Amino acid sequence: MDYSRFFSDDVPSFLRSPVREIFRKVDLASIYSFAGGYPDASTFPLAEMEGLTRRVVEKYGARALQYGGTQGVTELREIISRRYDVPLERVQITTSSQQGIDVCARVFLNPGDVVLTTYPAYLGALQSFRAYRAAVHRLPLEDLSTPGQGQGEGPIADGRGRSERSERSSDSGSTVYRRAKLIYIVPDFCNPSGVTMSPEERQALVEFARREDLLIVEDSPYRELRYSGTDIPTIYSLAPERTLHLGSFSKIFAPGFRLGWIIAEPALLEQIFVCKQALDLCPPVFDQYLAAEFMGSGALDRNLKRSISLYRDKRDYMVSLLEKYMPTGVSWTHPDGGLFLWVTLPEGIDTVAMYDSALAAGVAYVAGSFFFPDGSHRNTMRLNFSYLAKERMEAGVHLLAAEINRAVSCSSQHVNSQ
Ligand SMILES: Cc1ncc(COP(=O)(O)O)c(C=O)c1O
């Protein structure tokens, strides 16, 4: 049967995640995977789960198994409101921060609206923006502090694969996107680059957003995973009137619970509240009570301390392995937190083309070009350092370096034979 006529007009805009495709085909345990954004399973509070579960059953009884409010259970919202020092009415629980991104796209974007973001950009967000047929343009952070600057770089394919050019508004003298509505940004230990925005960049971004009257979606699932350097104020704290701050329990508790939160103006949350009724009625109630007990009892902070120490050690080890094995001409970021670092190979090396042979050799990464809407930067890759057990990291980096070395020597033979 030909099903094509049944699919909606949105379906051709859906973007397939290459990361999820890897997980569909490959047993992660059988390879050295630097591909996904999986936390180290040893950070999951398995030992506490029995006690937590019992406490939820005893304390909340049948309420824990009943439908709950669309905005999330009050106990969890109260804990988040205290932890981040925001009023309760500004806290909405989401069924994962991926849903937080998607619900923002659904509530704020019409087909053809422009989203501004830094490149490389989080793939899950690109998937949501595409699904609602929004156009994505690069936000040149480096230019924002100069009034009149802030134009994107060249045309970027929109949800339908067409090109969209930035437009100039001559009356203000500044360059703006006529249809830009929101900025999407991962300011802390960005997935995929590992880069953190400086206080000056945050301030400039906020001033730009105010000048151009844009909303900001601040997606910060890694904020609590800092291994070095000092905390930098959130963008939300600088511009609470126009920022939606997205948080997640995935990296600080367990991704299997699919829980996150949005902190924003009640007038913005109100439409998200209505939209979420159609999505899932309410976030998972039992999971929310577990998270409330975990967070409220101090177990989250104790666990976080252990996770930070483990991930700091893994980050440092990963960097030392890259230094030991990578050929000259390869460079990488040194993130202060989060789960990823970004590797740049010599020009002409194609990490998409290299991928199958790397996987056949037993090592996985994500090609960097997947994080660019125009598919550029094919000589880059994202490496995760949280998932693989430390004892397996050296063999994995060794294999990856061998693949890169092979690609580099093929590329120089090719150049020499021309
Ligand atoms: C920047 C960013 N936003 C959102 C998410 C999704 O997180 P969650 O598991 O809460 O859906 C991720 C997951 O890797 C991420 O890296």
Taking the C-alpha atoms of residue 30 and residue 23, their distance in angstroms, rounded to an integer, is 11
Residue 17 has pLDDT above 70, yes or no: yes
Residue 381 has pLDDT above 90, yes or no: yes
pLDDT in tens, 390-405: 999 999 999 999 999 9
Give the mutation target among 101, 128, 191, 217 for probing the ligand 1 site: most ligand atoms within 8 A of CB.
Answer: 191
Report pLDDT for 81. Answer: 98
Beta strand 114-117 pairing with 180-185: parallel
Report pLDDT for 27. Answer: 82
Query: Are 288 and 77 a contacting pair, CB within 8 Å?
Result: no
Domains in the chain with CATH codes? 4-45+301-410 (3.90.1150.10), 64-297 (3.40.640.10)
Query: Are 232 and 200 a contacting pair, CB within 8 Å?
Result: no
Give the mutation target among 248, 252, 253, 287 for probing the ligand 1 site: most ligand atoms within 8 A of CB.
Answer: 248
Residues with CB under 6 A from ligand 1: 37, 96-98, 122, 124, 186, 191, 219, 221, 248, 250, 255, 260
Taking the centre of ligand 1 as the mean of its atom positions, its distance from the CA of residue 77, in whole angstroms, is 20
Give me the mean pLDDT over the 296-311 stretch. Answer: 96
- Among 29-33, 56-60, 144-148, 244-248, the minimum mean pLDDT is found in 144-148
Only one residue has tokens 């021309």, namely 418
Taking the C-alpha atoms of residue 33 and residue 52, their distance in angstroms, rounded to an integer, is 31
Give me the mean pLDDT over the 320-333 stretch. Answer: 97
Taking the centre of ligand 1 as the mean of its atom positions, its distance from the CA of residue 104, in whole angstroms, is 14
Residue 150 has pLDDT above 80, yes or no: no
Report pLDDT for 155. Answer: 33
User: Considering only CA atoms, which residue is closest to atom 5 of ligand 1?
Assistant: 98
Give me the mean pLDDT over the 159-168 stretch. Answer: 36
Give me the mean pLDDT over the 27-42 stretch. Answer: 91
CA 203, 214, 82, 336 torsion-angle sign:
negative
Residues whose CB is less than 8 angstroms from the CB of residue 382 and which lie 6 or more positions away in sequence, other chains included: 120, 191, 192, 193, 340, 341, 342, 343, 365, 366, 368, 371
Residues whose CB is less than 8 angstroms from the CB of residue 278 and which lie 6 or more positions away in sequence, other chains included: none
Split at pLDDT 50, 70, 90, the class of 418 is low
Nearest ligand 1 atom to alpha carbon 220: 1
Residue 177 has pLDDT above 80, yes or no: no
pLDDT in tens, 94-116: 999 999 999 999 999 999 999 99
pLDDT in tens, 199-243: 999 999 999 999 999 999 999 999 999 999 999 999 999 999 999
Taking the centre of ligand 1 as the mean of its atom positions, its distance from the CA of residue 221, in whole angstroms, is 6
Residues whose CB is less than 8 angstroms from the CB of residue 4 and which lie 6 or more positions away in sequence, other chains included: none
Taking the centre of ligand 1 as the mean of its atom positions, its distance from the CA of residue 88, in whole angstroms, is 23
Report pLDDT for 140. Answer: 87
Report pLDDT for 22. Answer: 76
Taking the centre of ligand 1 as the mean of its atom positions, its distance from the CA of residue 105, in whole angstroms, is 15
- Among 12-26, 323-337, 384-398, the minimum mean pLDDT is found in 12-26
